[in-house]
Structure 1
Amino acid sequence: MSIYSALKVSEGCRALRLLHRGSHSILKANPNLAFVPASRPPDPKEVNELQLFISRSQRLLVMTGAGISTESGIPDYRSEGVGLYTRTERRPIQHAEFVRNASARQRYWARNFVGWPQFSSHQPNAAHLALRNWERLGKLHWLVTQNVDALHSKAGSQLLTELHGCTHRVSCLGCGDQTTRSELQECFEALNPSWRAEAQGVAPDGDVFLTDEQVCNFRVPACSKCGGILKPDVTFFGDTVSREKVGFVHERLAESDSFLVAGSSLQVFSAYRFALAAYEKKLPIVILNIGPTRSDHLASLKLNSRCGELLPLIDPQ
């Protein structure tokens, strides 16, 4: 790295410390942080190491997971103490169960109907906005997210692949027709004008916890085009990401010169495979995630800070 570049990195870090003081006070008072695992503040040395990594990157591919959205009030699955798996015995619906079992679909959609107003109202946090700015400044080559919450889109990111789809879209399993989730919400309301249920907790995909007795009278519409089964345009557990989408991400990775993971434990293979591919291509890998990940041994740098605290400190220019 040249002396000029090193000075530029140092000046950028100093300038961003002032911004960080203001954003830190806002985030500290944010009740959304209830779903964020405990972590220490960013270490200045680690901030500088990440800054150097970003400064050297010309075509950066970023992969994000649930840990980038916890600061927006959306819980994740696996975080110690606050993730869904540690707080409850509940598990997300499996793809095969949804397709084969009408009662399972009724239960899923009733819960989703109750949880949708809150889930759809979540807004991007400082980490989403930082990545959007990296894209606009030409630093970010491509962004791949495992999340289905649409927060990257809300933030304004355009060079984006939603690896597991998005809950804001609904598809028919019969004819493939798509509609928006907000339109389906109106259909639910029309079909169930007197149906009421109180939400009990919240899950990462917008699901809430209801009893079987609460959902037994909930009515679920069929596709208006062919009468087929309506499903969120997301990859449920037990299903696989399409070959076309996987191939597209591999193409973007082949064009990249560095790989950053933000807020993902990489426990699911659909994401882990890209970390393996980056390692095989000898790309420098940095992981930003509170707690261990499946790919820590592949990374040249592992950071345990909050995404919304650390990413805004980095100067992408």
Structure 2
Amino acid sequence: MGNEASTPVSEDVPPITLTARTVEAVADYIKKNNVKRIVVMTGAGISTSAGIPDFRSPNTGLYANLARLNLPYAEAVFDISYFRNNPRPFYELAHELYPGKYRPTVTHSFISLLNKKGMLLKAFTQNIDCLEREAGVPGDKLVEAHGSFATQRCIDCGTEFPDDRMKDTVAIKEIPYCERTRCEGLVKPDIVFFGEALPESFHRSRSLPASADLAIVMGTSLTVQPFASLPSFVREETPRILINLERVGGLGSRADDVLLLEDCDSGVRKLADALGWRDELEELWETTNPSRSERKKQEAKPKDKQADLDARIEELTRGVDKTLKLSEDHQRQFEKDFAKRPDTGKLDVPAGLAKSVTAAEHKKQSEGEVNDRKSNGSDLSHIYPHLDSKSVDKPSL
């Protein structure tokens, strides 16, 4: 597999699985067969509308614009041997390409929509820009065949480097070094450089296209191996659709190959239209709009402030209500105890209610006790107001 005939299939040859070699027939096949195992294979062409240059276009490609970095040859920026000796050109480039600076394209959102609908078996990408992730495709559904900026580690000891520190370091165009004591090797994003092996995830997943119900190939020249061999692993009777500016990799040589030779965003919109997903796709893509995200943040701020104010008022109100209720309870308890006071003797006011006794009530109570003492001739309150008459002997005359 991998050496497919490049001659386009004749229009006279009927498809085996599809009703026709059209995007509408692909959509009909997806809906009627409840397709759930779609494999997507992508290259730099799905990111060019985001503003990220591809690698090999003669005048606008990434390699054509690296002269300012004074490289011995353009590919040296991704050469591991050159990086060990001079990492600065790579980090100059990383500063421009680092995730967060570019918005995912509608094509990225289409892949995310496939996942949301439970149809995505795996998305194989040659891109290192992480835009699939930013569009909402989970990491376990991605095979970043050439690595990405998503993670990074020391090239000597393999120790992982923190994401936040990497972002901060790249932002100021500094070169990160290993944090491990006595190592201090160079740190590099987990991008596959020339001279390095492809990620293990690629080799583990390489056979998945053989179990797919549909293969979608977009925005790739299919010139770099072993990625270029992936479409050939798709079963002969399984439809393959190519959305690309030109025919590549032998696509179109099978009876159930469908070619949309146009830019990727236009192609996925046509497929979404045929599936009846266009509104969902545009809505999902809009969620990646930075201006919308910023607008939502600004709209949320006044609401957050009002919610915080409402919460504070509610808390204060609860406190006041609780205090008032306690005061009312105290008053009722005092009145209850006062009503039960015996004709003689002191009112036994509970300690917790002592402060509820008014000055007038205290005066009335004191005057009653004075009169009692005067009536039995044992009152010494004018001299010793703190003494009870029962505890003092009558004076001798």
Match of 1:229 in 2: 186
C-alpha change, 1:148 and 1:108, in structure 2 (3 Å) is same
Match of 1:71 in 2: 49
Match of 1:178 in 2: 160
- Contact 1:61–1:140 (CA<8 Å) still a contact in 2? yes
The structural deviation recorded for 1:185 is 4.2
1:155 aligns with 2:135: yes
In structure 1, the gaps of 5 or more residues are 1-44, 193-217
RMSD across aligned C-alpha pairs, in angstroms? Answer: 2.9
C-alpha change, 1:58 and 1:110, in structure 2 (3 Å) is closer
**One-letter amino acid of the structure 1 residue matched with residue 185 of structure 2:** G
Percent identity over paired residues = 25
Select the residue among 85, 106, 119 that pairs with 2:88: 106
Aligned length: 240
Q: Cα deviation per residue 1:130-170 (whole Å; 9 max; x = unaligned)?
A: 11111111222221111111111111112222111112422
Match of 2:114 in 1: 134
Give the match's secondary structure for 1:179. Answer: coil
Larger Rg: 2
> Following superposition of structure 1 onto structure 2, how do residues 111-126 of structure 1 map, counting pairs within 5 Å?
111-113=93-95, 115-116=96-97, 120-126=100-106
- Contact 2:97–2:129 (CA<8 Å) still a contact in 1? no
- What TM-score results when the alignment is normalised by the length of structure 1? 0.65
- Contact 1:260–1:286 (CA<8 Å) still a contact in 2? yes
CA distance in 1, matches of 2:169, 2:111: 35
Match of 1:267 in 2: 223
Give the match's secondary structure for 2:52. Answer: coil
1:61 aligns with 2:39: yes
- Contact 2:221–2:248 (CA<8 Å) still a contact in 1? yes
Match of 2:263 in 1: 306
- What TM-score results when the alignment is normalised by the length of structure 2? 0.53
Match of 1:51 in 2: 27
C-alpha change, 1:187 and 1:137, in structure 2 (3 Å) is closer
Give the match's secondary structure for 2:161. Answer: strand
CA distance in 1, matches of 2:232, 2:23: 25
**One-letter amino acid of the structure 1 residue matched with residue 48 of structure 2:** T
Give the match's secondary structure for 1:296. Answer: coil
- Contact 2:78–2:90 (CA<8 Å) still a contact in 1? no
Give the match's secondary structure for 1:148. Answer: coil
Give the match's secondary structure for 1:177. Answer: coil
CA distance in 2, matches of 1:124, 1:163: 19
The structural deviation recorded for 1:240 is 3.0
C-alpha change, 1:79 and 1:297, in structure 2 (3 Å) is farther
- Contact 2:252–2:258 (CA<8 Å) still a contact in 1? no
1:245 aligns with 2:201: yes
Which sits farther off after the overlay, 179-188 or 268-277?
179-188
